[in-house]
Amino acid sequence: MTGPHSAPAAAAVPTFPTGVPLKDAALADRIGGRLAQVDAVLDQAVASTDALADDAGRHLVAAGGKRFRPLLTLLAGELGDGANPQLVDAAVVVELTQVASLYHDDVMDSAPVRRGAPAAHTVWGNTVAILVGDLLFARASALVAGLGPEAVVLQSRTFERMCLGQLHETTGPGAGDDPVEHYLQVLSDKTASLLSTSARLGAMFGGCPEPVVEAAAAYGEKVGLAFQLADDVLDIASSGTESGKTPGTDLREHVPTMPVLLLRQRVDRGEGTASDTDLLARLDGDLSDDAALAAVVADLREHAVLAETRELAVRWAREAAAELEPLPDGPVKEALTDLATALADRTV
């Protein structure tokens, strides 16, 4: 599915995942047009002649989403000439990969809501959701094959890291492992790897020299860590209306997140208060009751570990922006720097 893709006459102005628009009007216009192309090609990529596969495959794509990974691919492409039509297909590949992973993640995490819509497994059941995720991974693989061998290898290595991240999240840290460091590695593999690939593909197909490609990939990796740490904050701090996700979903399923790990670290080191110990015990207990979940969410919202997690997100965002320092100044570098800041401080 390579080759030119026609854009609608009037494309929406692209925004960061916080809803903040790109500052440079000309850049915003170019990216907006290409994001519209991404949506058109994405719609074609998920279409199926099988009614169930078509309905279930479109479910999360139709729900919207931030299109953060395609945006990153297209912005990184602007570090070069940004005109290669394969950039659109590369952007679709990373979004398809992300969407496919969400079908699997929601089954494993028992998440009831995704992107403001019922999670696919709550509509069609676990088996259908998993198979549809597999189907979308296959569609991403078919599309990336048209981008050449280097992109195929990159996609396969990224998929491997995503699987390892999920595996290590599921099994937890081993004896003697630092839980916080283990968690950061999980985030790096499960989330940041695809963001790194998104930026790398953009720079590659933008025709950038190797040092710029490597800088973009390093930026994407660190932005990914900032993004996921901010997501840990959002799981506690935001309302479901803002984020499209039920607050405390990860807590209810006992999925490790940074605020809980920092709280556990305090207690294990003997640095916690009696209320810290009580809160941790409640977090480790049965949170199936809505009132019990709401109570621990409320307590965590007031706890210092939430602010510490937010500070970690900001630190990784600054480190991501630092990867861009050797690159020439201009609207693209400014947009990528702003993107890192926006992700660390996002509310949705």
What is the tens place of the pLDDT at every residue in 261-308?
Answer: 999 999 999 999 999 999 999 999 999 999 999 999 999 999 999 999
- What pLDDT is stored for residue 116 in this prediction? 66
Q: Do the domain assignments include residue 31?
A: yes
Copy the structure tokens of residue 43: 């719609």
| pLDDT tens digits along 34-62 | 999 999 999 998 888 888 888 777 877 77
| Domains in the chain, number | 1
Q: Each residue of 118-161: pLDDT tens digit?
A: 777 877 778 888 888 888 999 999 999 999 999 999 999 999 99
Average confidence (pLDDT) over 318-324: 96
DSSP string, 143-202: HHHTT-HHHHHHHHHHHHHHHHHHHHHHH---TT--HHHHHHHHHIIIIIHHHHHHHHHH
**CATH for 260:** 1.10.600.10
325 has a pLDDT exceeding 90: yes
16 lies in some domain:
no
**How buried is 127 (Cβ within 10 angstroms: 0-12 exposed, 13-18 middle, 19+ buried)?**
exposed
Within a domain: 130: yes
Compute the distance between CA of residue 177 and CA of residue 175 in angstroms, rounded to an integer.
Answer: 6
* In-domain check, residue 310: yes
- Confidence (pTM): 0.88
Q: 7 lies in a domain?
A: no
Statement: residue 66 has pLDDT above 80 = no
3-state helix, strand, coil in the chain (%, to 5): 70, 0, 30
How many other β-carbons are positioned within 10 Å of the β-carbon of residue 273? 10
- Domain interval for residue 208: 25-344
pLDDT digits (tens, 9 = 90+) for 216-273: 999 999 999 999 999 999 889 876 555 556 688 889 888 889 999 999 999 999 999 9
What b-and-e string marks burial along 57-91, b requiring 16 or more CB atoms within 10 Å of the CB? bbbbbebebbbbbbbbbbbbbbbbebebebbbbbb
Q: Is 174 inside any structural domain?
A: yes
107 — pLDDT class (breaks 50, 70, 90): confident
Residue 8 lies in a domain: no
Rounded Cα gap, residues 152 and 15, in angstroms: 29
CA distances in angstroms from 273 to 39, 230, 266, listed in the order given: 50, 26, 9
Q: Does residue 9 carry a pLDDT above 60?
A: no
Q: Is residue 39 part of a domain?
A: yes
